[in-house]
């Protein structure tokens, strides 16, 4: 499954007059898990919003499956792209199940109710994400980590071709982070969907991503297979830290050890 | 959970209760009319048949020309204010929003009293159309200003939104006060808009109020599921395929139109849109697919009962807007305090 999902051609984006992304050229392929990395303020979330069609670039253009993103209808896009935001909060006391069922929205006609198959699918996803026991609880009474799993379940219910994650593991504990990423990884390997994930943790990225895209000051600093991008020279340039990268038999992936350079931090 | 059979049954039940209450309300007043005579007169009129001879002509006139339009206006206005409250709360993600706290009602009253003043100064405007039209402009303008003032706060938090509503209301109230000064002898009409009353409801007003309210209410109820998803915030809703900005603008315009229609008939009646959806959310949950229709009927029932109380039960007629404010104001204070305690969400 080696087809192109996105093609970004000289994409720039600014909030008012504050440039965030500049001249991004990139091709994102289907069938893999792509990690977007970079320091704070490097434009990771903005890039994700551009890919999701929630924002539109001021210059350049973004093609999704060969067609300009701006020409898609929002609802059609929602049938192939699902987003898990960083902070998922909801303003009224909807039950967990009601929130998960919201993922069916782009697939349902206006007054249609979920079919029996839809209901079964919702239950299956809630079981897999470990929230079935919470199904009747009001979402506002859950912990941050539980709410985040509900957000993931809702996105899976959308039956997307691509799942976009914006630091979706930030509020999860270690066990739930690993469980979530493994669940998604299995689905990527099974050819069910692709994943594009904004991540902070280099070691999680090393374990779960096939490919990395490294942003630095609004530019695409490097993009390529994970093993190639996790390079001490590149990491020093982008993050200003020293690193040692080695293959770890226990996790069966490359892992990164980091430290601050001995010399004073150079000005960014 | 799903708006299934239970929802249809309770909605039909609510509609029946509203109808029965309306019939009961028609019997009450200075002139007591037995229930069977009310039923005879209304069914005869509805079927376009002549009313039987044995019923007194005054009774017929009181029922059809005075009480029925007032009852229908109470139902339509109560329903539309409650429904608009529910929609504003869902659109702005703010459980304290309603046409009154956002200042839209005052803006609409400002527009309506402007017409009166212009007429005094010799500008001949057709009242039947210009009053609702100016009320709509006043309501929309106020809403735009309130949203602009509160927009610095990206999440449109309760406090800044309500504060903006109160400030704009205060300015407009001062302007209305000046109009009162200008209006001199016709001051009564403007005071009527400030206090809120259904005493003046007539068939000619209903000709405009009824179709606009019913069509608007149906339109609003169509978007129940979209409103549910909007509760997850702009970014999530957009990623689920909702054109959030366009939808928000559309819904806010419809609500302002409905509020303006209501104000042009009854003046400012506050807090109905705040209390009704809030209480219903405790009973039926936050699902807007069921909450919106329930709000319409429950709001209709509330205002009908309240208006019948002021009209027929209390020793002298209290303006209904005063009554709802006296009941709703403390309720708002309670909600506001509870919200601070619970950390912002309920």
State the Cα–Cα distance between residues A48 and A171, nearest whole angstrom: 19
State the Cα–Cα distance between residues A94 and A98, nearest whole angstrom: 6
Q: For chain A, list residues with pLDDT below 50.
A: 1
In a domain, B273, yes or no: yes
Q: Is A65 on the interface with B (CB under 8 A)?
A: no
Taking contacts as CB-CB distances below 8 angstroms, the residues of chain A near B93 are 91
- Residues whose CB is less than 8 angstroms from the CB of residue A69 and which lie 6 or more positions away in sequence, other chains included: A50, A53, A56, A61, A62, A63, A77
Closest to B240 (Cβ–Cβ): which among A76, A78, A98? A78
Question: Residues 129 to 158 of B: which have CB under 8 A from any A CB?
Answer: none
State the Cα–Cα distance between residues A94 and B20, nearest whole angstrom: 33
The tokens for A267 are 């000005």
Q: Per DSSP, what are the bridge partners of residue A246?
A: A255
Q: Walk along chain B (346 residues) and give the pLDDT tens digit of each residue.
A: 466 788 899 999 999 999 999 999 999 888 888 888 888 888 888 888 888 878 888 888 888 888 999 999 999 999 999 999 999 999 888 888 888 888 898 999 899 888 888 887 777 777 777 888 888 899 989 988 988 888 765 555 667 777 888 899 999 989 988 888 887 777 777 787 778 888 888 898 899 899 999 999 999 999 999 999 998 888 889 999 998 888 988 998 899 899 989 988 888 898 899 889 988 988 888 999 999 999 999 999 999 999 999 888 887 778 888 888 888 888 888 877 877 776 544 3
In a domain, A264, yes or no: no
Q: Is A91 on the interface with B (CB under 8 A)?
A: yes
Q: Is B47 on the interface with A (CB under 8 A)?
A: no
B245 to chain A: closest CA residue: A54
Residue to mutate among A56, A91, A167, with most B CBs inside 10 A, is A91
Q: Is A103 on the interface with B (CB under 8 A)?
A: yes
Q: Is A168 on the interface with B (CB under 8 A)?
A: no
**Contact between A52 and B236 using a beta-carbon 8 Å cutoff:** no
In a domain, A265, yes or no: no
**Phi then psi dihedrals of residue A238, to 5 deg:** -85, -50
pLDDT for res B2: 60
State the Cα–Cα distance between residues A209 and A254, nearest whole angstrom: 11
pLDDT for res B284: 87
In a domain, A173, yes or no: yes
Give how far B345 is from chain A: nearest CA, Å.
Answer: 6
- Residues whose CB is less than 8 angstroms from the CB of residue B224 and which lie 6 or more positions away in sequence, other chains included: B287, B288, B289, B290, B291, B292
In a domain, A266, yes or no: no
Residue contacts between A and B (CB atoms, under 8 Å): 88
Q: Is the dihedral of CA B249, B250, B252, B256 positive or negative?
A: positive
Q: Number of structural domains, chain A?
A: 1
Please give, one letter per residue, the 3-state secondary structure of chain A. Answer: CCCEEEEEEEEEEEECCEEEEEEEEEEEECCCEEEEECCCCCCHHHHHHHHCCCCCCCEEEEEECCEEHHHCCHHHHHHHEEEECCCCCCCCCCEHHHHHHHHHHHHCCCCCCCCHHHHHHHHHHHHHCCCHHHCCCEHHHCCHHHHHHHHHHHHHHCCCCEEEEECCCCCCCHHHHHHHHHHHHHHHHCCCCEEEEECCCHHHHHHHCCEEEEEECCEEEEEEEHHHHCCHHHHHHHHCCEEEEEEECCCCEEEEEEECCCCCCCCC
State the Cα–Cα distance between residues B38 and A193, nearest whole angstrom: 66
CATH of the domain at B216: 1.10.3470.10
Q: Is A105 on the interface with B (CB under 8 A)?
A: yes
A115 to chain B: closest CA residue: B2
pLDDT for res B346: 39
**Cα-trace Rg, chain A:** 19
The tokens for A29 are 């392929």
Q: Is B344 on the interface with A (CB under 8 A)?
A: no
**Contact between A89 and B222 using a beta-carbon 8 Å cutoff:** no
Could you tell me the residue range of the domain that residue A169 belongs to? Answer: 4-259
Other beta carbons within 10 Å of A45: 18
Closest to B228 (Cβ–Cβ): which among A74, A81, A102? A102
Query: Could you tell me if A225 and A232 are in contact, meaning their C-beta atoms sit under 8 angstroms apart?
Result: no
Residue to mutate among A83, A92, A137, with most B CBs inside 10 A, is A92
Other beta carbons within 10 Å of B219: 13
Could you tell me the residue range of the domain that residue B81 belongs to? Answer: 72-342
For residue B78, give the nearest of B208, B247, B196 by alpha carbon: B196
Closest to A106 (Cβ–Cβ): which among B3, B231, B240? B240
In a domain, A267, yes or no: no
CATH of the domain at A135: 3.40.50.300
In a domain, B297, yes or no: yes
Q: Number of structural domains, chain B?
A: 1
> How crowded is the C-beta side of B277, counted as CA atoms within 13 Å?
32
pLDDT for res A106: 92
In a domain, B91, yes or no: yes
- State how far Cα B190 lies from the chain centre: 19
Closest to B229 (Cβ–Cβ): which among A82, A102, A164? A102
pLDDT for res A12: 94
The tokens for A96 are 């967990």
pLDDT for res B344: 47
In a domain, B22, yes or no: no
In a domain, B325, yes or no: yes
Q: Is A140 on the interface with B (CB under 8 A)?
A: yes
**Contact between A92 and B231 using a beta-carbon 8 Å cutoff:** yes
Closest to B93 (Cβ–Cβ): which among A88, A91, A108? A91
In a domain, A130, yes or no: yes
For residue A205, give the nearest of A175, A187, A180, A230 by alpha carbon: A230
């Amino acid at each position: 499954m080696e087809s192109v999902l996105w093609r970004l051609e000289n994409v720039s984006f600014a909030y008012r007059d504050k440039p965030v992304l500049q001249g991004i050229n990139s091709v994102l392929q289907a069938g893999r898990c792509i990690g977007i990395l970079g320091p704070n303020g490097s434009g990771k979330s903005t890039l994700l919003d551009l890919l999701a069609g929630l924002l539109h670039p001021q210059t350049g253009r973004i093609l999704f499956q060969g067609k300009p993103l701006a020409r898609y209808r929002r609802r059609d896009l929602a049938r192939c792209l699902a987003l898990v935001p960083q902070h998922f909060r909801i303003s009224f006391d909807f039950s967990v199940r009601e929130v998960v069922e919201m993922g069916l929205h782009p697939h349902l006609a206006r007054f249609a109710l979920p079919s029996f198959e839809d209901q079964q699918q919702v239950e299956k996803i809630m079981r897999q994400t470990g929230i079935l026991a919470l199904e009747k609880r009001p979402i506002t009474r859950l912990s941050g980590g539980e709410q985040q799993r509900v957000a993931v379940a809702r996105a899976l219910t959308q039956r997307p071709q691509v799942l976009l994650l914006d630091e979706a593991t930030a509020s999860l504990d270690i066990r739930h982070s690993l469980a979530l990423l493994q669940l998604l990884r299995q689905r990527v390997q099974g050819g069910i969907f692709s994943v594009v994930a904004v991540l902070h943790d280099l070691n999680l990225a090393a374990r779960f991503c096939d490919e990395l895209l490294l942003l630095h000051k609004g530019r695409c600093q490097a993009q390529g297979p994970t093993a190639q991008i996790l390079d001490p020279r590149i990491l020093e340039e982008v993050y200003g830290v020293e690193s040692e990268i080695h293959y770890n038999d226990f996790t069966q992936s490359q892992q990164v050890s980091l430290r601050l350079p001995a010399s004073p931090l150079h000005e960014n | 959970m799903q708006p299934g059979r239970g929802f249809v049954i309770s909605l039909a039940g609510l509609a029946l209760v509203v109808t029965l209450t309306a019939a009961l309300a028609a019997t009450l007043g200075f002139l007591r009319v037995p229930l069977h005579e009310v039923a005879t007169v209304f069914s005869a009129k509805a079927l376009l048949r002549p009313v039987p001879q044995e019923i007194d002509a005054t009774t017929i006139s009181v029922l059809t020309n005075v009480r029925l339009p007032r009852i229908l206006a109470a139902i339509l206005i109560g329903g539309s204010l409650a429904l608009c409250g529910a929609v504003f709360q869902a659109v702005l993600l703010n459980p304290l929003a309603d046409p009154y706290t956002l200042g839209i009602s005052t803006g609409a009253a400002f527009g309506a009293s402007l017409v009166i003043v212009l007429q005094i100064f010799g500008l001949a405007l057709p009242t039947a159309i210009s009053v609702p039209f100016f009320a709509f402009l006043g309501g929309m303008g106020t809403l735009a200003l309130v949203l602009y003032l509160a927009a610095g706060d990206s999440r449109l938090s309760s406090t800044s939104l309500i504060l903006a509503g109160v400030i704009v209301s205060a300015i407009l109230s001062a302007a209305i006060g000046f109009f009162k000064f200008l209006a001199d002898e016709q001051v009564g009409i403007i005071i009527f808009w400030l206090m809120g009353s259904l005493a003046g409801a007539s068939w000619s007003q209903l000709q405009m109020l009824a179709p606009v309210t019913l069509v608007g209410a149906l339109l609003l109820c169509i978007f129940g599921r979209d409103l549910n998803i909007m509760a997850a915030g702009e970014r999530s809703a957009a990623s689920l395929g909702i054109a959030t900005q366009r939808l928000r603008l559309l819904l806010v315009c419809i609500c302002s139109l409905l509020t303006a229609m209501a104000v042009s008939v009854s003046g400012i009646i506050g807090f109905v849109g705040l209390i009704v959806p809030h209480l219903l959310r405790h009973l039926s949950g936050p699902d807007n697919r069921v909450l919106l229709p329930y709000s319409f009927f429950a709001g209709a029932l509330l205002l009908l009962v309240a208006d019948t109380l002021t009209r027929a039960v209390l020793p002298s007629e209290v303006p209904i807007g005063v009554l709802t404010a006296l009941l709703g104001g403390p309720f708002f204070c309670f909600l506001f305090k509870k919200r601070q305690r619970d950390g912002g969400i309920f």
